[in-house]
Amino acid sequence: MSLVLIAAVKSLVLILLLLTGFAYLTYYERKLLARFHVRLGPNRAGPFGLLQPVADAVKAIFKEELVPDHVDKVVYLMAPALSLIPALVVFAVIPLAPDLTVFGYTISFTITDINVGLLYILAITSVATYGVMLAGWSSNNNYALLGALRTASQMISYELPLSLILVAVLLTTNIGREVGTLSLVEIVQQDRPWWLWLWLWLAFPIVFICMLAESNRSPFDLPETENELIAGFQIEYGGIKFALFFMAEYISMITGSALMASLFFGGWRGPLATPGTWYGPLVGFGWLFLKIVALLFVYIWVRASIPRIRYDQLLQFCWKFLTPLAILYLIATAVIVVLV
């Protein structure tokens, strides 16, 4: 019973952190985009505009709720939650900091460490696709349905090169070990030689591009492109239901950044993040936070710099360039692992 209670408390704290992170990620993005566009950004609600996310939340909560008569109401109301929940539960297997031992009791800063953690992440993130697809279908709107169809093909297409690269990363966990692992905790704790880090970093751009497509971020935000589909899959949603889709997208950005930081940049590892010390967890969480913020900066930098592409270009780029490149990288990684 105590283990269940501890897991519940950890989950509650993590959800509160993610919801707060989502709120201030919107502020972070608007401020950065303002700098890119030579504007000011939010500066009215509170000092330096820091209360703008609070004002936006209050507005979304009290905004009038409308449910069109022509929608499938059960699926229509279920779809936003189906998009948000997977983005939250993915963090259950991502290590946030090294363990802390107090009076002989070990405190783990991971909600659960399962030996198929990476497979769990791929499975859960795939479920989020159904939220967007069902939202477009249940809206009974042609533009929303087209957005849902785009989501299906886009997600399925970009999951292939992403999965191939992750398989290559998993192959590298065999180096220096008798068996490999899919546990994010063990992957972060593994000591890799410097040349292996350089090899892994070659695959990071492919994974980042796939993450952009998986989270429907610009320039791959084709399921909701307003110049073609008015607002895509979310056209019939407003108020807090629209905010849930908005929340799911931004939390997916945080989740994707945490995953990339754990696989390619050592996760919580860094100077002074020493396991077994009282300050290790605090410093380790700080390193992971800084890496996530840096990766989120790249997300926003791409949005400010690269225009949206055509939908046929989106799929051609995946099938004709990214997928063959991911296959070649996987083959090369397998050869390296065998030779080493």
Q: What distance in Å separates the CA atoms of residue 167 and residue 259, rounded to the nearest whole number? A: 14
| CB atoms inside a 10 Å sphere around CB 8 | 11
What string of pLDDT tens digits covers the 340 residues of the chain? 466 777 788 788 888 888 888 888 988 999 998 998 888 888 888 888 888 888 888 887 887 777 777 777 788 888 888 888 888 888 888 888 887 777 667 777 788 888 888 888 888 888 877 888 888 888 888 888 888 888 888 888 888 999 999 999 888 887 766 666 788 888 888 888 888 889 999 999 999 999 988 888 878 887 777 777 777 777 778 778 888 888 888 888 999 999 999 999 988 888 887 777 778 888 888 999 999 999 999 999 998 888 888 888 888 989 999 999 999 999 999 998 888 7
State yes or no: cis peptide before 219, omega within 30 of 0.
Answer: yes
Q: What distance in Å separates the CA atoms of residue 130 and residue 120, rounded to the nearest whole number? A: 17
Contact 235, 141 (CB under 8 A): yes
Element (H, E) at 101: strand 100-102
For 108, residues 6+ apart whose C-beta sits below 8 A from its C-beta are: 99
pLDDT of residue 126: 80
Q: Which amino acid is at 104?
A: G
pLDDT of residue 218: 79
Q: What distance in Å separates the CA atoms of residue 317 and residue 228, rounded to the nearest whole number? A: 20
For 289, residues 6+ apart whose C-beta sits below 8 A from its C-beta are: none
Q: What distance in Å separates the CA atoms of residue 21 and residue 28, rounded to the nearest whole number? A: 10
To the nearest whole percent, how much of the chain has pLDDT over 90?
Answer: 19
pLDDT of residue 187: 86
70-115 per-position pLDDT tens digit = 777 788 888 888 888 888 888 888 888 887 777 667 777 788 888 8
CA angle 265, 267, 269 (to 5 degrees): 95
Contact 29, 300 (CB under 8 A): yes
Pairing of strands 105-107, 100-102: antiparallel
285-315 per-position pLDDT tens digit = 899 999 999 999 999 999 888 888 888 888 8
Q: What distance in Å separates the CA atoms of residue 289 and residue 202, rounded to the nearest whole number? A: 23
Q: Which amino acid is at 277?
A: T
Q: What distance in Å separates the CA atoms of residue 91 and residue 64, rounded to the nearest whole number? A: 32
User: Rounded to 5 degrees, what are φ and ψ at 100?
Assistant: -125, 130
What ranges do the domains of the chain cover?
68-339
